[in-house]
Amino acid sequence: MLEGDLVELVPLTPDHLPDLRRIRRTPEVLARWGEPEDDGNDDDVTCFTILLDGAVRGMVQYGEEDDPGYRHASIDIYVDPDVHGRGVGRDAVRTLARHLVDDRGHHRLVIDPAADNAAAIRCYAAVGFRPVGVMRQYERDNDGNGWHDGLLMDLLATELR
């Protein structure tokens, strides 16, 4: 378990899946993440359930590049719209970033929101992530009919707020 100022990050378990699927199907999260396809058992990422006052409020995950010449970690997150604007996402990202820097030894982290996701970009910037560049037509639209740009942001360990 990782403790933040507001949230606890606990390893995702099957008991969390009904709440996480409900959150994934809210219009706000569905628009960014699409229909839930799996149960968080991807070997390439480590998933944590975001708990706020003991209730499931989202999911945050990380992946690691372990090649010594390119070592870094990436973060993805979604948060229940019922708690948007309360600092839950910011605290979850900061808590996971601290774990990745302090416990996992990463010197650099990346995150890649859709370029038009202003709320997510503000959240990540508050933690210390900086825009690096726009990745054109980076991600398929959820309807499968087009592509949209992503914003690559990174954070060096010394910049973590």
Q: Is the pLDDT reported for residue 43 higher than 90?
A: no
pLDDT score recorded for residue 41:
59
Distance CA 17, CA 38 (A): 10
Assign 38 a pLDDT band (cuts: 50, 70, 90).
low
Assign 90 a pLDDT band (cuts: 50, 70, 90).
very high
pLDDT score recorded for residue 39:
56
Query: Taking a C-beta distance cutoff of 8 angstroms, is the pair 24, 43 a contact?
Result: no
Mean pLDDT of 132-143: 91
Q: Which residues contact 102 (CB under 8 A, 6 or more apart)?
A: none
- The model carries a pTM of 0.93
Over residues 100-129, the pLDDT tens digits come to 999 999 999 999 999 999 999 999 999 999
Q: Is the pLDDT reported for residue 37 higher than 90?
A: no
Domain count, the chain: 1
pLDDT score recorded for residue 34:
83
Domain that holds residue 67: 2-159
pLDDT score recorded for residue 86:
95
Q: Is the pLDDT reported for residue 141 higher than 80?
A: yes
From 86, 80, 138, select the one nearest 112 (Cα to Cα). 138
pLDDT score recorded for residue 115:
96
Tallying the residues shown for the chain, one arrives at 161
How much of the chain, in percent, has pLDDT values that exceed 90?
A: 85
Q: What CA dihedral angle connects 141, 135, 76 and 121, to 10 degrees? A: -100
More confident residue, 21 or 142: 21
What angle is formed at CA 39 by the lines to CA 34 and CA 42, rounded to 5 degrees? 95
Query: Taking a C-beta distance cutoff of 8 angstroms, is the pair 93, 124 a contact?
Result: yes
CATH number, residue 118: 3.40.630.30
